[in-house]
Each structure stands twice: as C-alpha cells, then as structure tokens.
Amino acid sequence: MQPRIGVLALQGDFAAHRKALERAGARPCEVRNAADLEGVDGLVIPGGESTTMLKLLDVEDLFQPLAEFGKRKPIFGTCAGAILLAKEVLNPAQRSLGLLDLTVERNAYGRQIDSRIARIDLGGQPAEAVFIRAPIIRRVGSGAKILAEYAGTPVLVEQGKHLVATFHPELGSDDSVHRRFLEKVQRGYTENK
C-alpha cells in the first residue's frame, strides 16, 4: 500500500517535494492546517525561511499539532525543515519542534550567493546535494545517526522515525533520500496496522 505523505505547504518548494515523493512511490498531499494531518502517514517540512515558517505555523495554529504529530509519526525536514525539527537553533536562537537531538546553525554556509551544488556520498553512492542558504548541523546527539557529510559536517541525519537534510534532495534527480523516508514511514505503518 502506498503511504500517504503530507507536505507542509505554507512556504518553500513543496511542489518539488510532491513530485519527488510521487517518483519514490508515495501518495503526497498538501498540509495547510491541522485537519490536513488526519490520515497522513508521514510529513515533509520543506525548505524555506524558518522564521517565516514559524510565523505561518502560528497563524494557522499548526505548531502544537505538528509537535504532537511528530511524537507519533515520521517527519522529514529539509533545510528550514531541519531547523524546525532540531532541539536547538543558533544564529539567532529560535523556538523549534525539538524532535531531533541536534544543534543547527541557520544560514551557516553563507548568503544566497554562497549557495552551491556539491557531491556527497549517500550509502556508498555519489549524489548531488543542493545547498541554498543552508544550515549547518553543529551538534548531533548520541541517539542520532549521521548518514551523510559535506566538508566534514553532517548533512543528512536520522533519529528514530525522523530524518533531516540540510540540503534540498527534492531539487535533484536522485530520489534515494525520499525513498529512505518512505521506508521509515512504511515500517511504522506496517507496525501500527
């Protein structure tokens, strides 16, 4: 059975995530309010601007429902989504969902002009990673696992049912990161059905 994956559609390139999820074998849907979380097996929080996302989550009264959802079901955050999922945020400090034991520094690779496409190793396979005003993961807690690095810093990390990437896997042609997230969702889906 194809898992139904919500994509937070308040800001960011949620359309690219929908396409990547479809290619990976999911049934994506857009999540714009708390009611949209019903019947969703997992959620993607896309890149964008994390402080703007926080404001929009407050406007839509979605912050607490997302925190509760994350206690029960998998969430995959990319770039700003990774910031929102981290336990601690720097530069400047801001609140977050705190679902992964990570410390993340916002915009740590530099400004927009410093954005880049880099090659990383994903499970022994070369992959393209698109960094756009990307955060850097400065600390990884003992319960989290580093899956990929770039320039000596973690760029893909999982902890339990959750996954974060500081790059934008939805902008490349390799869907392996989205497939990995779907595997997490399907493990939980089959365990709970």
pLDDT, one tens digit per residue, over 117-136 is: 899 999 899 999 999 888 99
Q: Could you tell me the pTM of the whole model?
A: 0.93
DSSP secondary structure string for all residues of the chain = ---EEEEE-SSS-HHHHHHHHHHHT-EEEEE-SGGGGTT-SEEEE--S-HHHHHHHHHHTT-HHHHHHHHHHS-EEEETHHHHHHEEEEESS-------EEEEEETTTT-SGGG-EEEEEEETTEEEEEEESS--EEEEE-TT-EEEEEETTEEEEEEETTEEEESS-GGGSS--HHHHHHHHHHHHHHHHH-
Catalytic residues: 79, 168, 170
For 64-74, write each residue's pLDDT tens digit: 999 999 999 99
> pLDDT value at position 192?
42
> pLDDT value at position 114?
62
